[in-house]
Amino acid sequence: MRITTQDTRNTVKYLGFEQRREKIERWLSPPDPSTNYNKALQQRQKGSGLWFLQGDVFAKWKTRRNSFLWLYGIPGCGKTILSSSIIENLDVSSQPLLYFYFDFSDTAKQTLDSMVRALISQLYYKYIEALPQLDTLFSSCEDGRRQPTSESLCKVLLQMIGQVKEVWIVFDALDECCTRKGPLMEGILSWIREVLNSGQRNIHLLVTSRPEQDIESGISEFAHNDDIVPIQSGLINNDIRAYVHARVREDNSLKRWRSQPEVQDEIEARLLEKASGM
């Protein structure tokens, strides 16, 4: 096989591009939300979340221009598991997808700045149309010798999103973000409002959280009543029932009862009785 001068040039050009991309990734230092996603998928009972994924609310959110949904519920009602089911559904559908998990146990996943960096990184690797905006910011920061401001990162993210015709974004556990309040470049709630109010983009944004007062107050300023959906215990009872049934019947720590189905039934009944939507 004969290697031409053009082949060599293309190889050099590709290697140069890869080196620059690695530099930008190190400079950006984004947290990796896929660890939260993979953990939630491992914990999910097969078939859970279908009450939402197969419903009209989700279908309308996926197709309505500049749509928004806030799913809220008590601690332990399965918000993170549901978020992961939603992300998997969108990913399988090959939708232009961005996501982030706010996480009280990981300080790198608790701020607007960390979320913006993660979404920029996802866009940078997935969509070639979004490359020039971040390259320009990197160059303006002396090729990574200094860090960008939060304001410049927010602006670049919106510019990059603007290069993609349509995008679906999922945020889990908004209540675990420690920069919820504040102006546009500091508070996540102000950022969400700004994104949705821009008619230049077609963004479908879904967030989950506990029903905390400041989140409810902030979201009610820009969301319609139909955009605010409580995760009610009645809706997730089938998920809870399937999970409890699988654990009681299959978990090795409870294998002593496998020869006594009446005891297994009693354990399931008691657990479901005390679950209270959790």
pLDDT in tens, 265-278: 566 556 655 555 55
Rg (alpha carbons) of the chain, rounded to whole number: 22
Q: Are residues 39 and 97 in the same domain?
A: yes
Which DSSP category does 35 fall into?
Answer: H
Which DSSP category does 98 fall into?
Answer: E
In this prediction, what percent of the chain has a pLDDT beyond 90? Answer: 52
Domain that holds residue 169: 7-231
pLDDT band at 93, cuts 50/70/90?
confident
> By C-alpha distance, which of 90, 99, 101 is closest to 63?
90
- Which of 100-104, 193-197, 202-206, 250-254 is least confident? 250-254
Cβ-contact 81, 49 below 8 angstroms: yes
For the stretch 187-207, pLDDT in tens is 999 999 988 887 667 899 999
Establish if 260 belongs to a structural domain: yes
Count of beta carbons in the 10 Å neighbourhood of residue 156 = 22
Q: Are residues 227 and 250 in the same domain?
A: no
Establish if 176 belongs to a structural domain: yes
Q: Are residues 207 and 258 in the same domain?
A: no
pLDDT above 70 (res 152): yes
Q: Are residues 241 and 126 in the same domain?
A: no
* Domains of the chain: total: 2
Q: Are residues 134 and 255 in the same domain?
A: no
- Which of 36-45, 71-80, 133-142, 253-262 is least confident? 253-262
Q: Are residues 191 and 240 in the same domain?
A: no
Establish if 1 belongs to a structural domain: no
Q: Which of 197, 215, 231 is the last residue of a domain?
A: 231
**Residue 63 sits in a domain of what CATH number?**
3.40.50.300
Where does 173-275 have alpha helices with state H?
188-197, 213-220, 233-250, 261-275
Establish if 41 belongs to a structural domain: yes
- C-alpha 263/C-alpha 259 separation (Å) is 9
Q: Are residues 224 and 261 in the same domain?
A: no
Task: Specify the pTM.
Answer: 0.81
pLDDT at residue 43, rounded to an integer = 82
Establish if 72 belongs to a structural domain: yes
The string over 68-97, giving b where at least 16 C-beta atoms fall within 10 Å of a residue's C-beta and e elsewhere, is bbbbbbeeebbbbbbbbbbbbbbeeeeebb
Q: Are residues 154 and 261 in the same domain?
A: no
CB neighbours of 236 closer than 8 A, spacing ≥ 6?
Answer: 51, 77, 78, 277
Q: Are residues 142 and 69 in the same domain?
A: yes
| Residue at 207: amino acid letter | V
3-state secondary structure of 271: helix
Average pLDDT, the chain: 83
Q: Are residues 95 and 180 in the same domain?
A: yes
Establish if 2 belongs to a structural domain: no
For residues 53 and 232, the model is more confident at 53
For residues 188 and 253, the model is more confident at 188
Across 56-78, average pLDDT: 91
Establish if 219 belongs to a structural domain: yes
Q: Are residues 243 and 212 in the same domain?
A: no
